[in-house]
Amino acid sequence: MTGLSFGYLYDFRNPDQWKRDWHELYEETIALAAWSEGVGFNAAWVPEHHLASDSYVSSPLIALAAIAARTKTIRLGSAIALAPLYHPYRFAADCVALDILSNGRAEMALAIGYRRREYEAFGLDFTKRGARFDEFLEVATRLWSGETVDFAGEHYQLNGAKLMPPAPRGHIPLHIGGFAPKALARVARFGDGYFGDPGAAAGYIDQLAKAGKDPATARVTATTLFMVVAEDQAAAMDELAPYFHHVNNTYAEFNNEDKAIGMDGPGMQAMSLDDYKASGMLDIMMPDEAIARFRAMQAKTPALEHLMFMRPPGLSAERFKAYAQLFAEKVMPAFA
């Protein structure tokens, strides 16, 4: 039980309190993803949101293509792309282009999203996003397999659709997120792995068995966005908390803007910086503590193969590198 890979999420946000020139910010972020490859990280992930006050990245595939041009080995994926906002033919074709440009390094993490206003901005019915996602996945996976697709669904209609050029590997690896039994059944049916909270992995593995698939094929990518490794935990908390606090409060803003999914609790509310620092939500560990924690996660979830951390918006490139370098030197060798 040693193999475990690590990567970072890059959301390209530009909050007002740390406002940057847009070109400089994007160029710096792409350069950091390339730098992370050089020190041994395995993946670069780009998420998606729309109508965000801090201009959260809204075009993950374009950002990933730019990272592909600057890297050679790291996996490149969305995490997550809001799949029902796309036409499946357009999305499938763009993923094939990314896979060709990156020489077979593309993989997508997809989910349905939870913000009503994002769907309204696209002129779509928020309440139909699950059904729309199922149709999307059926069409996209058939296209990647090389089929000529005729499809007459409620949300998508295609006639004679075929990808030219085809997907070089015959598929694009898919990681799908979700928590409810219906969502986990969707992962088992369409996905190559589960994306999200490792606590939901047991349900995903159960759904694999129900779908007649071998649970031994399960793959889990866990989001550990609020975990950081540092040798001086108190100093790291003082330095990093303002940046992660911004992330916490913008996600709270998303969750509470129209109460579309009915979730509540401390993690769904904005809070002061002092309250955030005292909340325990930002988990800062010493290197040995991190190694023990990750080994415990592997023991509990044998299918766990990858952990995803965050470059928080506003943190300078040099300070991000300092924390990432420490992780690469003191934690990653334990899982090589």
Q: Which domains does the chain have, with CATH numbers?
A: 5-231+285-335 (3.20.20.30)
Q: Are 12 and 26 in contact (CB under 8 A)?
A: yes
More confident residue, 180 or 19: 19
pLDDT of residue 91: 98
C-alpha–C-alpha distance, residues 270 and 256, integer Å: 9
Confidence class for position 83, pLDDT limits 50, 70, 90: very high
State the average pLDDT over residues 241-270.
Answer: 83
pLDDT tens for residues 117-160?
999 999 999 999 999 999 999 999 999 999 999 999 999 999 99
State the average pLDDT over residues 247-268.
Answer: 79
C-alpha–C-alpha distance, residues 254 and 11, integer Å: 15
pLDDT of residue 204: 93
Closest residue by Cα to residue 85 from 113, 61, 65: 113
**E-only strand ranges, 218-317:** 220-223, 227-229, 283-285, 304-310
State the average pLDDT over residues 55-68.
Answer: 98
C-alpha–C-alpha distance, residues 178 and 223, integer Å: 12
pLDDT of residue 148: 98
Q: Which residues of 99-117 are buried (b: 16+ CB within 10 A; e: fewer)?
A: beebeebbbbbbbbbebbe
C-alpha–C-alpha distance, residues 28 and 14, integer Å: 12
Structure-block tokens of residue 169? 């590997």
State the average pLDDT over residues 182-211.
Answer: 92
Q: Are 110 and 187 in contact (CB under 8 A)?
A: no
DSSP 57-87: ---HHHHHHHHHTT-SSSEEEEEEEEGGGS-
Length of the chain: 336
Say what percent of the chain tops pLDDT 70.
97
Confidence class for position 179, pLDDT limits 50, 70, 90: confident
State the average pLDDT over residues 108-113.
Answer: 96
* Whether the predicted pLDDT of 1 surpasses 60: no
Mean pLDDT, all residues of the chain: 95
* Whether the predicted pLDDT of 266 surpasses 80: no
